[in-house]
Each structure stands twice: as C-alpha cells, then as structure tokens.
Structure 1
Amino acid sequence: MKFFNRHREQERIRKALLREDGQLIVIYGRRRCGKSTLIKNIIKAGDIYFMAQQTDDNIQRQQLAAVIAEKFQGFDAMIYPTWEALFSNLNRQTKEKFILALDEFPYMVKSSPILPSLIQKIIDQKLNSNYHIIICGSSQQMMNSMTLEASSPLYGRASEIIKIKPLEAGWITDYLECDATQGVKEYAVWGGIPRYWELRRNYPSFSQAVKNLILDNQGILHEEPSRLFLDDMRESVQAYSLLSLVGKGAHRISEIASRLNKPASQISRPIDKLINLGYLKRDIPFGENPKNSKKGLYTIAEPFFGFYFSFVVPFLSSLELNLIDQVFDIFSSRENLFISSWWENLCRRSVPAKPFNDIYFGPAQRWWGNNINNQPMEIDVVAQSLDGKYLLVGECKWSEVPNPKSLLENTQKKGALLPFAKNKIIIPVLFAKSSPDSNNNPNILTPIQVMNRLKTG
C-alpha cells in the first residue's frame, strides 16, 4: 500500500533516532492502522526488524536470533536460554548505530513477562548505546500498562510514545481515486483504516467490496471485531452487547442499562474501556463540562464498527443463509441516513483542521437543549474561535440544497438563540452534499471542501 500521511509521526521518530544515546521509542494503536508499515518506512538496510508471533519464548528467541544473524553473522549459532543472554550477546557485538524494532512486542511479554524489566535495565545502564529500540504493539491496553503506568518498569524510559490513529478521511479520495462525494460514502464504511482501504481497492465497485469483504460469512472482514477484541479483552460478549445496542439506537446509559437489565453502575467501566479503545464515544452538548454533564449520548466512534453493528450483527442469521444481496438492499434503503451521520462527523472534524475565513476555531460539537426562549433546539455544528469572538454555527445536509440562502438565514437566527451566544459574532455555515452556490459562497461547504480540509498531518 502506498504510504499516506503520518508525516508528524515520522518526523518525531526520526528526530529521536538522531540523538546520540540509544533511545526507546514506543508505537501502539489498534490493529490494521499501519504501525508496521510506519516502522518499515523508518528503518533502513542494516537495521533489525522482528515480527513476534504467539509462540513459546524459546522459539521467539530462536526466531529473533535468526533475524539478528542477518546482520551479525553467526549470532544464531548459540543457544540462548534467557532473554538476558540474548541481549548480552547483542550488546557486545554492536559497533555501529542501528535500530532494533520489536513488532507485536506484547506477544513477547505474554511469553516472558520479565522482558520489560530487562529492557529497563538496558536503557538505565545505557547498554544499548549503539542501537535504538522500537517496541510496537496492537494490544492498546498492554502497551499502555507497560509504558504509561507509574508502576511499569518502562515508565518514563521512552523518549517517544506514539499512538497511531486511523488516517484522516481526506486521504481516502486519493487512495481510492474517487471524487469527494464518493469518498464520504466510502469513509462511512471503511473509516480511516489503511488495511480496509487496501482491501476495498481490490474490487471494482463499492457494493461488491461490501458484499464480499463484510457481508459474506467467508469475507475477510466478516468477523473483524472479534479479532480486534482479542487484543484487549479476555472475552468479547459484553463489548458485542454494548456496541449492538448502541448500533440499534440506544444512546443514553440508562437506556443501554435497561435493555441489558443491569444497573448503570455495572456498565460504566466496560463503556469507558470501549471509549478508551476508540470504539465508542460520548457526545455532550457544546459548552458543557464532560465531567458534570447529564446529557451524554453514546455513539459508535469508528465507521467500520458503525456499519458492522448496524448491518451485520442484526442480520447474522440471514447472512448465514447467504442472503447477502437482501441484506445489502436493506443497507441501500437506509444508506443516506447512515451516511448523513458520518457526514456530520466529518463536518465537525473539518472545522478546527484549518482556518475558516482566516479565523481559527476550536473543536466543534453538536448542541441540543433549550434556547434563550426556553424552546428545544438542536444544531449540528457549533465551534468557538480561539480568540472567543466568533461562533461558527453549522447545518449539515447529506442532500442537494438548491436554495441555501434561507437555510443560512435560519442557521444565523438559531445561532443567535444559543444561551452562550451573547456578544459573539455568529458565522452561519451550510455543509451540503451539493449546492449550486457552493463555488461562490465561502459559507457553503460541500464534500470537496470538507475532504480537502481533512488532509492533515
């Protein structure tokens, strides 16, 4: 796959690798986001890259020794009874700078929990003065506990800890070579996961890709969530239950708890875990304190999961009967509604990505509640300028808007009714699938403008 984006991550890693002392660099994030590709793009001839497998630690040492032997001839001629023996020999042989990249490091730690303490010793005693160590893993929970918890041996030892997140939506149009409108549709299913984009490009059409990769019970992505959950969960039943309920429209914690027949206190921790892993998110109205707000609504945070728990899980029995076309037809009948929610998401994310009319805005959120006239009101996009003078107030439409003037005027009026709008300059914005005035009015953004704003990093 062509290497897209990741400019900031590459720059941080390369700067760390220029330092004289041996560095420890930690790279983590959910599977299929391109961590291994990033490392391979950084290392060069003479560096050592090892992809660990879920095997016994003796076999792992043999495999790593064989990889090291490609650089240091005869390194695998010895038998290494411990990791300390292997690293001691490596430390003796190094005469020139190189990188030792240990990919899927959590597999190594599962087989030998002493490894983090050994690497701590290597770093603290500067035994790796001639080589840098990169550790990488898809188990977000284990990588966090090994490097970010104060009780961990590696806490405070890494010079860089980089979480690899999904790519921004704007890049999908380049990779799939499609227009921006189609790009929004593609993103609503594949999200920003590079591997999904790669698989999608193997098919001539969107429908064929969805049917063959996801809906077909033999498709490579048909059981994808189960594989991802294995990285961070002992069992996935509860995660499946929570995501299925949210996918079916249960967005308040009280509603989710009621459908599970459990008190809300029992599901708070598993919900928080899904949020930390990037699978769920909690939305609150713009301007409210996340800690105190009672209006939190839970939604699926990642497009692929949104599609999966809306159109795969509810129809698993039908898909087992190979009714793939029929399930896809159900998706097609709800397509605009499904895509519109991700269109709103992209519109909000595009606001702080770049200046808007030379004004920089902070993060955008939805707003709902009672306006200054004590009337219920909802607004799709609200953001405040960094200087506090302006409020951007936006309406999102995944449809053609032939006459946007009245809609912009109405959005301006709604913005003025916000409880926190006093003394603010309201900037009304229309985000539309298409509009005849989009080329002449900077306050109208269509997919091409939104997706271009989301080519960041």
Structure 2
Amino acid sequence: MIRKFVNRKEELEILEGLWGKEGLTFVLIYGRRRVGKTRLLDEFSKGKDRIFIMFEDKPREYNFKLISRKVSEFIGINVNIPDFPSLFSLLKRLTNRRILIILDEFSYLIKKEGEILSELARAIEENKDLNAMVVVSGSYVSLLERELFRYSSPIYGRSDANIKVQPLKFKHLFEWFDANAEELVKIYSVTGGTPKYLEFFKGDNTEEEIKNNFFNPSSFLFREAKALLSEELRELSVYLTILEAIARGNTRITQIANFCYMKENQIMPYLRTLSKLGIIRKVVPLFGKRGIYEISDNYFLFWSRFVSPYYEEIESNFPESAIEDFTRNFNSFLGKPFEGIAREFLIEANRKGLLPFQFTKLGRWWHRGEEIDIVALNERDKKALLVEVKWSDLTKRRIKKILRELERKAILLGLDDYEIHFGIIAKRAGGKEEFELVFDLRDIEGLMRGRESA
C-alpha cells in the first residue's frame, strides 16, 4: 500500500538550496535499499527540467544506451552518448536552462567498472559552466563509502553535499498511519522505519500482519534480509549466525564467538563489516570502556530473532514453530525496540524544553549486573536524569518500587555532586499524574503529534 510522502524536510531543503544556485552543482545521495532515496529524488524533481536515469545491474554498454535514450527523449533528437564527458558537453551546447540530472543506482556502474568515477570526475572538471545539478544516488553503502569518500577517490572533495538517507523515526509513523500508539510501536519494532517495509502494514491488527509478512515463504519481508545481505556480503551464513547470536542476547564478543563456534579474533572482521553497514553497533556504557554489540536496525533484529532460526522450515511451508515462538515471545521482544522509542521521546522532549534541565549527553549504564536503561547528563551544570524503560503496564506500587531501585543505583554511578532526577517510561503507567517524570504511550503519542501538554 503506497502512502503519502513523509518527512525528508531537511534533505529537501538542502537539495532545493543547491538547485537555486547557478552553474554545475554535484550531490551524492546514498543509503540502504528501500530507505526512500528514489522517492525523495522523485519528489524533489517534480516541476523541474530533469533527466532521470535509473541504472541497472548490467554491462556499461546497456546502461549508456539507457542514458542515450533518456537524453534523446529530453532534447527531442536521437543521440548516442558513449561517456559522461560527452553527456555533459552535449547538454551544455544544446541548452542554457537549468537541468536536473539524476543518476540513480550509480553503484551498479561502479561495481562493473571502477574507472567510471574517474570518467565522471573528468566530466565535472571539464564542464563546470554547465548549468545543471547532477545527483548521484546509490544503495551499496559499503561500496559507496569506500569508493566515494576515501581521499584517493577521483570524486573526493568534488561534491557540494553528501546526504545519507536514513529510515524514518518513530514520530513519523503518526503521519503515515491512522493507528494507535501501541500498534505503531509494534510496526516500528519490526520495520525500523524503512518506508518500503511500512507499506506492508495498515496497523489494524499488527500481529496478524507480522505473521503474514514474515512467516509466509512468498512474502517480501521474509526474503528481504537475505537478499540485502547477499548484495553486500560474502560468507552469508557466518553473518546470519552472528546476527542470530546477537538477537538472542549474546552481546559480548566472547558470547558471539562461542555461539558461532569461532575464536574472538576471527569474529572481529565480521562485526566491523556489519557495523559499517549500520546493521549492528557497538555500545559502550557511560563511565565505562568495555562495550557490547547490538543490532541497531529493528527489521534485522526481528528477522534475526524470529525468522532466521526457522528459515528453512518457513520456506518449506512449515511455519508453525516460528509462529509459536513469535506468539510466545514477541511481547518481551518489544522491550528493546521500545527503549529506542523512549530515547527518541526524551530527545524530542529535551529539544522542546519539557524536562527539568537540558541534557547534552544520552547513554546507558551497566556494571556488574546492575543496569540503567537511559542516563541523560548535563556535565557542565552537573545534572542527571536516570530513566527505567518498561514495556508493561505499571501500577502505582510498581512505579514507586522502580523509582526506589533507581535511587539505589544512582549511588553506584558516583555522581555525588550531581542534581539527580528519576523517571520511568512505560507502556502504561497507572496514576502517573502523581509523579513528576513518569510517562507512558499517551505522553509519547501526544508529544509526537505535537501536543506538548501531554
């Protein structure tokens, strides 16, 4: 189900600003597949004189025939374009009006021919007076970051802007869906805000929609994770095992290595690669040094926990074990994605001045079996906010107990000279009005919808 264009205000403002300039401007746009790059470019290019070329994973000759056809349609004359210098030179001779040239999925060309970047750089250098905006877009994140942003790249330093398109935030789902906050938490927890994935949900009965979209061998979301990883990585089985290990709570290097039957020094290159792709991240506790690894993308987190272990069974049309696991454990799984939503809520509340102080640092803390979900600090003013996040329904009695526990843990932090505040963010919190910093889904929805009084 296609829905309206949501968010991307910042990206559009950057692009419109560059469109308003004279001469040749050059923009790099990249991000993982399905994140909405092409939709962003389509929205931006409306009403402009544009040549929109979407390359395919085919030889150079095929793609330059595609360029020739698109340019011929644009200028009304049949032309043959052999390379980028010829393209830019031809457009400079034929028109004075500003042109938007979009080279989408350019990473396919880089894969086929590494020298294509030198050719593009030469075209830019020789045609600086071309009145055009050239946008290069691609989805192979590791390839693009390696080839475009290293110092020795022929294209390095030539771009007017580099835009990495990220998934939507939780707050944007309130624009996308007509559904309550609890359903949106479930949707966000399995899609991570990737626009393409959101299109498969309505928010009426999310758990049934999850079953249909993840435990059906013909469904897009069932196969998507493997397809994405296969494009970027070799040794796919090793990466899948690592992701399953982390999704099941094995977050330290030793635990991950043991789960994968590998040594710690063997596992590190794989962890670095997954980190570069933005699928996992290393998290270090505040006031600590030894970190853990977690899956940063909710889609991969859910898929690795509930789909990957049963992939062959689901593919063979025996999804019963996977569905049983999902039914039994999905509610507890939601706790981790909800922590991310809680952090987003606090950042938004901080930005709007709704907290006792403005924090400048946000993180987690753990030490010897003790843990605090969120620690917000203003180190200059020596103020701290300690927050427990609970995806559950809390009574007033339970709220008081959690707050007492936070007070006890605060002593372990060593913030003796700090002004310390304590808070809770829960699914539902009974009698929350009696507490200064206790929030639940009603507050989250109110803030995300712009009702700050909530």
TM norm. shorter chain > 0.5: yes
CA contact (8 A) 1:168 1:455 kept: no
> Which amino acid in the other structure matches residue 240 of structure 1?
L
> Which amino acid in the other structure matches residue 21 of structure 2?
R
Q: Aligned in 2, Cα 1:26/1:228: closer, same or farther, shift over 3 Å?
A: same
Query: Is the aligned partner of 1:364 residue 2:331?
Result: no
Map residues 279-358 of structure 1 onto 2, 5 A cutoff. 279-288=279-288, 293-294=289-290, 296-355=291-350, 356-357=354-355
- SS of corresponding position for 1:69: helix
> Which amino acid in the other structure matches residue 139 of structure 2?
S
Residue in 1 that maps onto 2:209: 209
- State the distance in 2 between where 1:390 and 1:105 align: 48
> Which amino acid in the other structure matches residue 360 of structure 2?
G
Residue in 1 that maps onto 2:272: 272
Residue in 2 that maps onto 1:373: none
Structure 1 or 2: more helix by fraction: 2
> Which amino acid in the other structure matches residue 316 of structure 1?
Y
- State the distance in 2 between where 1:122 and 1:448 align: 55
Residue in 2 that maps onto 1:255: 255
Map residues 33-432 of structure 1 onto 2, 5 A cutoff. 33-45=35-47, 46-74=49-77, 77-127=78-128, 129-201=130-202, 204-288=204-288, 293-294=289-290, 296-355=291-350, 356-357=354-355, 359-369=357-367, 376-385=369-378, 387-403=380-396, 406-407=400-401, 409-432=403-426
Structure 2: runs of 5+ lacking an equivalent: none
CA contact (8 A) 2:85 2:126 kept: no
Residue in 2 that maps onto 1:31: 33
CA contact (8 A) 2:32 2:140 kept: yes
Q: CA deviation at 1:249?
A: 2.4
- SS of corresponding position for 2:75: coil
Q: CA deviation at 1:109?
A: 2.3
- State the distance in 2 between where 1:405 and 1:280 align: 32
**CA RMSD between the two structures:** 2.2
> Which amino acid in the other structure matches residue 286 of structure 1?
L
Q: CA deviation at 1:89?
A: 2.2
Farther-moved stretch of structure 1 (29-38 vs 172-181) = 172-181
CA contact (8 A) 1:349 1:363 kept: no
- State the distance in 2 between where 1:138 and 1:251 align: 28
Q: CA deviation at 1:220?
A: 1.1
- SS of corresponding position for 2:432: coil
CA contact (8 A) 1:382 1:394 kept: yes
Structure 1: runs of 5+ lacking an equivalent: 371-375
% same residue: 25
- State the distance in 2 between where 1:412 and 1:261 align: 38
For this pair of structures, how many residues does the alignment match? 443
- State the distance in 1 between where 2:370 and 2:23 align: 58
Q: CA deviation at 1:209?
A: 2.1
Residue in 1 that maps onto 2:18: 16
- State the distance in 1 between where 2:325 and 2:432 align: 32
CA contact (8 A) 2:60 2:112 kept: yes
Q: CA deviation at 1:63?
A: 1.1
Q: CA deviation at 1:394?
A: 0.6
- State the distance in 2 between where 1:54 and 1:317 align: 28
- State the distance in 2 between where 1:278 and 1:57 align: 30
Q: CA deviation at 1:36?
A: 0.6
Residue in 2 that maps onto 1:436: 430
- State the distance in 1 between where 2:347 and 2:286 align: 14
Q: CA deviation at 1:349?
A: 3.3
Q: CA deviation at 1:358?
A: 5.5
- SS of corresponding position for 1:285: coil
> Which amino acid in the other structure matches residue 396 of structure 1?
V
- SS of corresponding position for 1:188: helix
- State the distance in 1 between where 2:105 and 2:145 align: 14
- State the distance in 2 between where 1:412 and 1:210 align: 35
CA contact (8 A) 1:26 1:158 kept: yes
Q: Aligned in 2, Cα 1:415/1:392: closer, same or farther, shift over 3 Å?
A: farther
- SS of corresponding position for 1:223: helix
> Which amino acid in the other structure matches residue 205 of structure 1?
N
Q: Aligned in 2, Cα 1:310/1:90: closer, same or farther, shift over 3 Å?
A: same
CA contact (8 A) 1:352 1:363 kept: no
Residue in 1 that maps onto 2:9: 7
Q: CA deviation at 1:451?
A: 4.9
- SS of corresponding position for 1:221: helix
CA contact (8 A) 1:412 1:427 kept: no
Q: Aligned in 2, Cα 1:312/1:408: closer, same or farther, shift over 3 Å?
A: closer
Q: CA deviation at 1:227?
A: 1.7
Q: Aligned in 2, Cα 1:318/1:363: closer, same or farther, shift over 3 Å?
A: farther
CA contact (8 A) 1:395 1:430 kept: yes
CA contact (8 A) 1:381 1:394 kept: yes
Alignment deviations for residues 174-202 of structure 1 (CA, whole Å, 9 cap, x no partner): 3121111221122111211111111223x
- State the distance in 2 between where 1:3 and 1:441 align: 39
CA contact (8 A) 2:361 2:378 kept: no
Farther-moved stretch of structure 1 (181-190 vs 235-244) = 235-244
CA contact (8 A) 1:437 1:444 kept: no
Q: CA deviation at 1:439?
A: 4.7
> Which amino acid in the other structure matches residue 41 of structure 1?
E
- SS of corresponding position for 2:347: coil
- State the distance in 2 between where 1:386 and 1:4 align: 36
- State the distance in 2 between where 1:305 and 1:389 align: 38
